[in-house]
Amino acid sequence: MTTAAPHDVPHTVQAGTPDLAARFPGLVAPDERSGYSGWIVTADHLVQVATALRDEFGYDLLSSVTGVDYLPEGKMEVVYHAFKTTGGPGICFKVQTGRDDPQVPSLVSVYPGAELQEREAWDLLGIKFTGHPDLRRILMWEGFNGHPLRKDWQEPYYEDEAKPFKSRSPEGHVYRFEDRNPFGDNVRYPEDFDPEKWTPENPEDLLYKSLKTYQAESPDGIETDHIVVNMGPQHPSTHGVFRFVVALDGEKIVNLKPVMGYLHRNHEKIGERNTYLMNMPYTDRLDYLSPMSNNFAYALTVEKLMGITPPERAEYIRVIMAELTRIANHCMCIGSLLNDLGAFFTPMIYLLEERDLILDVFEATAGSRMMVNYFRFGGVARDIPEDALEKIKGLAFERLPRILDEMDRLMSENEILRARGIGQGVLTAEDAIRYSATGPLLRGSGVPYDIRRADPYSIYDRFEFDIPVGKNGDIYDRYIIRLEEMRQSVRIIQQALKQMPEGPVMVGKPQYQFRPPVGESYGRVEGPKGELGFYIVSNGKPTPWRYHVRAPSFINLTAFGPMCVGQKVADTVAILGSIDIVLGEVDR
């Protein structure tokens, strides 16, 4: 945790990160804006610099790719955060381009994990990534007018740039802005646009065209037809409104394309209208199965920006809550994975019982079972009540260890689970890193990369715990790792309960309006699903200028297609289940 506000520190090369300006004189310049850090790379040499970063400096995991629209400066900026899988702080590099026709070379050839993220940046900000193999819209629909995250894009019923909207406060007369409009709506079309004459490109055609890019193999010279099957958006095993299209040769998959955005609500645009604190409950809705982790990551990022540190007791409460969330999330994940494998709800319901007990604790502490809204900048909303603390102790010291052993006995040695899991949906360690996979997906492939250990945040450096890693990178390894991670979480909770001091849970007075200093900040935690990061740019106003979520289940889906090719239809759902996605986070 940084103790000084970053904008006070003059720009120096951070210890442990390479001096890119010395390596690429003239091509790379340090970012010297106040409150910013990292490097600004010229667009033409981006691929060269990225390749060097990966190969020479060992930054092999491209964690986050996103864009920022600096409207007043008339610039677009693409921000990359790369990390080493061996641990340590990461490096941030940026590319700047004009706003009118922003073009940036694609990094998919260097880091394939950028594929979906670059598509997202194109979709929401209109930055064209030249050389991207499949640059289609991803969250909005094909034919959507404009790029909504641009600062000059205004939605229908646009009211104001930032909340609180005048129509709702301060008098509190809640009415819908559109009701005031005598014409019922205020939809404005761009000049020279006639909706009657406009026919968008058919997204389905584009999708199927990109699906047909596989090389048809026919070792015996027999040409067979392939069936195209749409799984989802309404499908019991996609865990929400996720859709993937598969080209099938019999039961074998020759190509797979994920389609998402059915639950898209432009979380980031809404986040940029909200004040900082208003976003806290809104992060609960991202990955609604692990709200505490989302709170954690967002609180860390804003605290980094403001340069405050929560008191000791609050840190311990945060860790306990985050680890309980991890257990609850893995319960859900293993349960639904077993369901996807065809177990008829029995393991699922056993595990849901444990999750319910954890949610009881959340309810007693935060007041809500799922939408907890519990963390605050500089602490947590309230202390854990005495009876909830007793419940946590009962869970951590008695119930959970016993139940986890019981589930292990019930499932792990099951012959069918082993046959369906071992050697299926293999993701090698190299591929996992290339596709920017994080969390259990990456560790299942044998890469011991856990942010709690690799780049410790909060007080995780005080606890003893192991990082379980898999061997083969298959479905079974991911399952076993989650089971083992739950045990490690229990260990952390046990230690935290023993060490937790008395004291306040909030630094200073609770406040509602925050004005962080100008600057940027990237905060990340090891969420149950992977690296959950927030990238926030502040311009000193009460609302963030840019609010970006690095959603682990969205980015882990990059590896989904490559993992499925060559497998059976029945395996796709199991592989998807082993990635563990939540659509609230994928679609945002």
Q: Which residues bind other proteins (CB under 8 A)?
A: 227, 229, 235-237, 251, 338-346, 349-350, 353, 414, 416-417, 419-420, 568-571, 573
Rounded to a whole number of angstroms, the minimum distance from the CB of residue 390 to other proteins is 24
* Of the candidates 435, 429, 476, 419, the residue with the CA atom closest to the CA atom of residue 562: 435
Residue 237 corresponds to which tokens in the numbers above?
């095993």
Rank residues 202 and 346 by Cβ distance to other proteins and give the closer one: 346
CB of 208 to other proteins, least distance (A): 15
* In the complex, least distance from residue 458 CB atom to other proteins, rounded to whole angstroms: 36
> C-beta of 336: minimal distance to other proteins in Å?
9
375, amino acid identity: F
Q: Are 145 and 206 in contact (CB under 8 A)?
A: no
CB of 551 to other proteins, least distance (A): 24
Question: Cβ closer to other proteins: 256 or 338?
Answer: 338
CB-CB neighbours of 229 under 10 Å: 13
Between 207 and 297, whose beta carbon lies closer to other proteins? 207
Cβ neighbors of 100 (< 8 A, separation 6 or more) are: none
Shortest distance, position 531 Cβ to other proteins, whole Å = 28
Identify which of residues 248 and 322 has a Cβ nearer to other proteins in the complex. Answer: 248
CB of 253 to other proteins, least distance (A): 12
The first and second tokens of residue 529, run together, are: 């699903």
Q: Is 114 or 245 the residue whose CB approaches other proteins more closely?
A: 245
Of 68 and 351, which has the nearer Cβ to other proteins?
Answer: 351
Residue closer to other proteins by CB (options 420, 529) is 420
Judged by CB, which is closer to other proteins: 98, or 342? 342
HEC per residue, 392-432: HHHHHHHHHHHHHHHHHHHHHCCHHHHHHHCCCCCCCHHHH
Q: Are 558 and 570 in contact (CB under 8 A)?
A: no
From residue 236, give the alpha-carbon distance in Å to each of 240, 294, 406, 573: 8, 26, 27, 10
Q: Residue 34: how many CB atoms within 10 A of its CB?
A: 13
State the nearest-atom distance from the C-beta of 571 to other proteins, in Å. 7
Element (H, E) at 123: helix 115-125
Report the nearest approach of other proteins to the CB of residue 221 (Å).
Answer: 23
Kindly report the number of other CB atoms within 10 A of residue 157's CB atom.
14
Task: Report the residue number, 350 or 374, with the smaller CB distance to other proteins.
Answer: 350
Q: Which amino acid is at 368?
A: S
Nearby residues of 440 by Cβ (< 8 Å), 6 or more positions away: 478, 481, 482, 485, 529, 530, 580
Phi-psi region of 176 (alpha: psi -120 to 50; beta: other; left: phi over 0): beta
